[in-house]
Amino acid sequence: MCQHRDVHTPVRAEVVVDLDAIRHNVGLLVDRAAATGAATMIAVKADGYGHGAIPVARAAVEAGATWLGACSLAEAVALREAGLTVPILAWLDLLDTDRAPGIAAGIDVAASSVAELRVLADAADRAGRPARVHLKIDTGMTRHGCPPAEWPALVTAAAQRAGAVEVVAVWSHLACADEPGHKSVDEQAERFDVGYRQAVDAGLTPIRHLANAAATLTRPDLHFDLVRPGIACYGLNPVDVDVDLRPAMTFRSAVASTKRVPAGESVGYGRTWTAHTDTTLALVPVGYADGVPRALSGRFDVWLAGRRRPAVGRVSMDQIVIDCGDDDIAAGTEVVLFGPGTRGEPTAREWADILGTIDYEIVTNMSRPRVARHYIGDKAVSDNPAGNSAVGNSAARDSPVGNSAAVDQAAGRRAAGDSTR
């Protein structure tokens, strides 16, 4: 169900995605790549890192991206069915996945073995058109990719299947580009160059792509023909360098109820927190089912009524409790769990640092059935799961999200408005 409303409307659990921030970030990345003559592929795998693959993809193309990247063929076909016409690469599926529908839809596919190339050639025959293939070499990450010892056989086989296979690119992935100066980056670049030259010697004429977001920002010498930034598109910086990236996601809820409790009362399972003085507690109806990790229990703040306030007790499946001291907090008041940080609210990076993980994991984990998506920015639409209704009627205060004057007023959801979760 699509909702068109002000972002201050109380909701149970919602991520607000700023498509103007997406456009800004993509524009910055496109400019970095264009300075070296490279095109830009934006990765929108995993439902656009939790932001919604199709709205993000549209915003990215509007901002100058000329390629899109997905992990699975199903993700890529959904983009194509939504009307996105730019080249789309799908790079990882099981060997027995039927590739013919994707090839017929004009999806580029990856191969990292002779066996996979054979599967693609067979699928191309059934699709009635050549498979556009990106040959992936493992240059040192030791995940997906053809081992160097098997690479000559792969490029030779690709050259021999010229009728069924069109080799578009040779590519690889960097393991430590987010650690500028790490020696492995140059080692991988050298191995990549060797693999590229072997492909050319086999009679292929591929483009090259190697740079992820970190290398796009820090290694212009590795841009080659195409860069593949992911996390930076969403405003999260993978490297410790000053770049004007704008986080696009805000996670918010609202106060369901408040209660005044005396000193000595404890909160939640295990009674892990006890009030030292009389205080007001606010109940917020989100929990680990909605993307608040239980491991954050007793370790995080929220933004509520113009200031940070601590979450106390354990994070439950469906609720958290906020210590509001002596402040009078109304039911329905907005609660921001994380956002861009522009007003002092917590950020996804802050959660990641507390948990000893990366902000990629935090935002990607927000693709959840009970968490609605609301888009702000030009041509924005909203996605509201069933049952995720407002939890109060009071206008929320001090929102770091901003007013959604630009929210699209079209009636109902576009046929291809948001990807399924």
Helix (H, G, I), strand (E, B) or coil at 366: coil
Q: Please identify every residue annotated as catalytic.
A: 45, 269
Residue 15 near residue 249, CB atoms below 8 Å: yes
Tell me which residue of 126, 135, 83 sits closest to 108, measured CA to CA.
Answer: 135
Tell me which residue of 169, 182, 249 sits closest to 215, measured CA to CA.
Answer: 182
Angle between helices 53-62 and 19-34 (to 10 degrees): 50
Here the tokens at position 145 are 């990719």
Here the tokens at position 240 are 């410790």
Residue 336 near residue 251, CB atoms below 8 Å: yes
HSE-up (13 A, CA, CB side) for residue 283: 14
Helix (H) / strand (E) element for 19: namely: helix 19-34
Helix (H, G, I), strand (E, B) or coil at 39: strand
